[in-house]
């Protein structure tokens, strides 16, 4: 539950919520009482990073990982 510990100060301890994780970079906090979902994506880049023979390469013309956030209302 280390992910929760990192973000715990952001949430009021008196509000009920559930936390789910997707892969290793996305944590979703759902506040049922308010109908709100907060999603944290710890990927520092919007573009894709792929492994090539020379190492990790940023694909500046590719945002396939955008499927993680394309329907969200707000991205900070």
- pLDDT tens-digit readout, 38-69: 888 777 777 888 899 999 999 998 888 777 77
Residue 48, pLDDT score: 85
On whether residue 25 sits in a domain, the answer given is yes
On whether residue 8 sits in a domain, the answer given is yes
Residue 7, pLDDT score: 59
Cα(64)–Cα(68) distance, rounded to whole angstroms?
9
The number of folded domains in the chain is 1
Expressed as residue numbers, the domain containing 47 is 2-64
Cα(24)–Cα(55) distance, rounded to whole angstroms?
20
What lies within 8 Å, CB to CB, of 29 at 6+ separation is 7, 11, 17, 18, 19, 37, 38, 39, 40
On whether residue 71 sits in a domain, the answer given is no
| Mean pLDDT for the stretch of residues 3-20 | 67
Model-level pTM greater than 0.75? Answer: no
Nearest to 39 by CA among 2, 1, 76: 76
Residue 6, pLDDT score: 60
On whether residue 70 sits in a domain, the answer given is no
pLDDT band per the 50, 70, 90 thresholds, residue 1? very low
> By the 8 A CB rule, do 27 and 1 touch?
no
């Amino acid at each position: 539950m280390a992910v929760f510990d990192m973000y715990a100060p952001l949430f009021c301890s008196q509000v009920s919520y559930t936390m789910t994780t997707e892969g290793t970079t996305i944590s979703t906090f759902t506040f049922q009482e308010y109908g709100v979902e907060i999603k944290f994506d710890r990927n520092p880049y919007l573009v894709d990073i792929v492994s090539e023979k020379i190492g990790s390469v940023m694909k500046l013309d590719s945002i396939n990982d955008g499927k993680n956030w394309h329907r969200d209302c707000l991205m900070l």
